[in-house]
Structure 1
Amino acid sequence: MFKPYGLDMEAVETKFSALKNEVKLIFFTRESQCIHCKEAKRLYERLASVTHKIKYEKYNFAINAEKDREYNVFAVPALAIIGAKDYGIRYYGYPHGTELNNFIDDLIYVSRAENKLAPKVMRKIQELQKETQLKIFISPVCPYSLSVAKLGLKLAVASDQIRVDIIDAMEFLEIAEKYHVRGIPMTVVNEENSFYGALDDEEYVDALLKLA
């Protein structure tokens, strides 16, 4: 059986039965100088066709500048993942390979907005007194990257103070160079400080708090 994007669409439909709230996929693209925009567009359209709880919108980057500003998007392909509210989750890249199943699980997590962080971790992130922006640089072929990206998403859902950009470092080499990425996964906190590695949830939040 043909599996578009390597996905078993029947299995995806079954997984999407767990969706609770509507999820909006706000996709930013452009016609030129974007290697994976067409593939990403087709993927998001296909996912939205599976269930009425996934809504899809597309905007041309720079041409729709007011939308770029509204969703704080700075490169393409980019995706704003919006659940019951905007949790500040932005994905830069094209989810594929082993990353794709994790991406689908992420959509379900945002839809359900169920806090699966340990109480001790929740108490720690409540110490944040100001909005904290995370840029998490990943590689789809690095399993440690996927666990850190998942944690960043969970933190953004759990806390109104945390916003997260998940960035494919291999696709956005200039951005990775700007932030002096020398290893994966790497987390940049508030545009200034950074730390490396896939830490457990509590260690990760401790590192974040030291730099926020």
Structure 2
Amino acid sequence: MDDETKGKVKEALLEMEEPVHILIFTSKDNCPMCDDTVKIAKEVSELADKLTFEELNLESSKDIAERFKVDKTPAMVLLKGKDRNGSYMGIRFFGIPSGYEFTSLLDSILTISHGNVGLSDEAKEYLRNLDKDVHMQVFVTPTCPYCPRSVVLAHHMALMSDRITADMIEAQEFPELSQKYQVMGVPRTVINEVHHQEGAAPENMILDLIRKA
């Protein structure tokens, strides 16, 4: 980040209320974006006293990786708290959150910290009473200007229910997943493996998919 960007990010992070810890899982093999992902987390964490990060090797930290069901790298898991023992909020990033997706990372940090979820009252009520597990995967690319809207929506939904896990997945870094879920364009939201929505769909459309899941 240049100095101007750092200044803007630092100002935004002043809104943090509770501490947030970023767990980054990396691996030595087949992870060309691991170093850059760690660099982003390090730079951001240096701009706020309430933000910390920790790098873990996926192979040597299998017990922690299993806790958060992390099976690929680079991966970020955001926790509400000061360390790895913080509260898991169901929010993960697979692949580097760069380009437009950097805004998704900042939004998730801030929303975990202050708890102001940007959903309708109807959506909040439905998600609070969710009676099934939901896995949301939002496929993105760093150059997609519409993708953060879908990632932010999924992450806000995860914050409303401990039954939801919401992932940002950088489509180009994980081509096998992109092929599996037939990602021809981004954003593409996949829910519980079978239901999907292309484009930056509004809240009500994603809620309908969750109801069907």
Relative to the length of structure 1, the TM-score reads: 0.90
| Aligned residue number for residue 76 of structure 1 | 73
Deviation sequence 1:23-61 (CA, Å, 0-9, x none)? 010000012311111111111112112222111111111
Secondary structure at the counterpart of residue 88 of structure 2: coil
Secondary structure at the counterpart of residue 142 of structure 1: coil
- Give the CA RMSD over aligned residues: 1.8
Deviation sequence 1:86-126 (CA, Å, 0-9, x none)? 11111011122232233222211111112321112223334
Q: Post-superposition shift, 1:207?
A: 2.1
1:117-156 equivalences in 2 (<5 Å) = 117-126=119-128, 128-156=130-158
| Aligned residue number for residue 186 of structure 1 | 188
Correspondent of 1:23 among 9, 20, 24: 20
After the TM superposition, list the runs of 4 or more consecutive aligned residues in structure 1 that deviate by more than 6 angstroms. Answer: none
Gaps of 5+ in 1: none
Secondary structure at the counterpart of residue 51 of structure 1: coil
Distance 2:100 2:118 in 1: 22
Gaps of 5+ in 2: 82-86
Q: Which moved more, 1:73-82 or 1:168-177?
A: 168-177
| CA shift in 2, pair 1:82/1:28, >3 Å | same
Deviation sequence 1:178-210 (CA, Å, 0-9, x none)? 222233222222223323222211122112211
2:29 pairs with 1:32 = yes
2:5 pairs with 1:3 = no
Secondary structure at the counterpart of residue 89 of structure 2: coil
Q: What is the number of equivalent residue pairs in this alignment?
A: 208
Relative to the length of structure 2, the TM-score reads: 0.90
| CA shift in 2, pair 1:98/1:195, >3 Å | closer
* Identical pairs, percent: 26
Q: Do the aligned partners of 1:138 and 1:145 also contact (CA within 8 Å) in 2?
A: yes
| Aligned residue number for residue 84 of structure 2 | none
